[in-house]
Amino acid sequence: MNASQAPQMIRVMLVDDHNVVRSGLATCLSAYEDLQLVGEAKNGLEAVRLCRQKKPDVILMDLLMPEMDGIAATRAILEECPDIKVIAMTSFDEEKLVHGVLAAGAISYLLKNVTSDELVKAIRDAALGRSTLSPEAARVLVQATRGTKDPLVDLTEREREVLNLVVQGQSNQQIAEALVISIATAKAHISHILAKLGVSSRAEAIAYAIKRKIASP
């Protein structure tokens, strides 16, 4: 491989209060020639100081640490060095942690059960400005979004009529006849209802409607 083909080096810093975790991550990074470990810190305060010296491209940031947690450290680091990409890496998927560190400026959120390949891909993506969210973190964000907005508000009057008929056990043909519309239109209404409620089947839509007392069977 000539110089023009050599991979661009990504400077990585580790921040975790557990020595064994940092050691394992360091060993993982050493297996990839485009990743260079430039520093390790055992808490947020140490990370902020070390970051000024080492100027990493990407930081793997634990969240629950003594002296200064990962959320505060992420905020402090990005205030000084906004070009650094912070990947939150923790064992927890609590909503306050996910929202807290992403609000502080972290580009990605991973759980520590990721594979080496998944971790390295997230580091490379972060260096390019691309985010990676663990499925657990993505679920937390989706649930929080659903919790702040009632999907029923988005249903049109016609869609509410269709939903009521679905709850009553009416087929697409029966719904079409009852509302004097085509079967294709009835199917389209049902697809829109499922999408707006965030469910994937008629049965889930029925359960949702009954739970919210929108309609009764």
Place of tokens 């049109």: 156
Q: Tell me, what's the pLDDT at 117?
A: 94
CATH number at residue 181: 1.10.10.10
Question: What is the C-alpha separation between 51 and 61, in angstroms, rounded?
Answer: 12
Whether residues 138 and 159 share a domain: the answer is no
0.85 cut: is pTM over it?
no
Tell me, what CATH number does 58's domain have?
3.40.50.2300
Residue 74 to residue 86: CA distance in whole angstroms: 7
Distance in angstroms (rounded) separating the CA atoms of residues 186 and 184: 5
pLDDT for 152: 59
Residue 155 and residue 189 share a domain: yes
Which of these three, 117, 146, 175, is where a domain ends? 146
Domain extent for 91 = 3-146
Of the candidates 132, 135, 136, the residue with the CA atom closest to the CA atom of residue 122: 132
pLDDT at residue 60, as a whole number? 98
The answer to the question of residue 165 being in a domain is yes
Domain boundary among 122, 146, 170: 146
- Residue 53, pLDDT score: 93
Indicate whether 115 and 160 sit together in one domain: no
In a domain, 118, yes or no: yes
Residues of the chain with confidence (pLDDT) below 50 = 1-4, 148
pLDDT of amino acid 1: 43
- In degrees, rounded to 5, the angle at the alpha carbon of residue 12 between the alpha carbons of residues 8 and 18 is 155
- Supply the DSSP symbol for 56: -
Nearest in space to 58 (alpha carbons), one of 18, 91, 106, 26: 106
Q: Are 12 and 38 in contact (CB under 8 A)?
A: yes
Angle at CA of residue 198, ends 196 and 201, nearest 5°: 105
Looking at residue 54, its pLDDT comes to 94
Which are the contacts of 50, defined by CB distance < 8 A and separation ≥ 6?
13, 39, 40, 41
**Residue 102 and residue 167 in one domain:** no
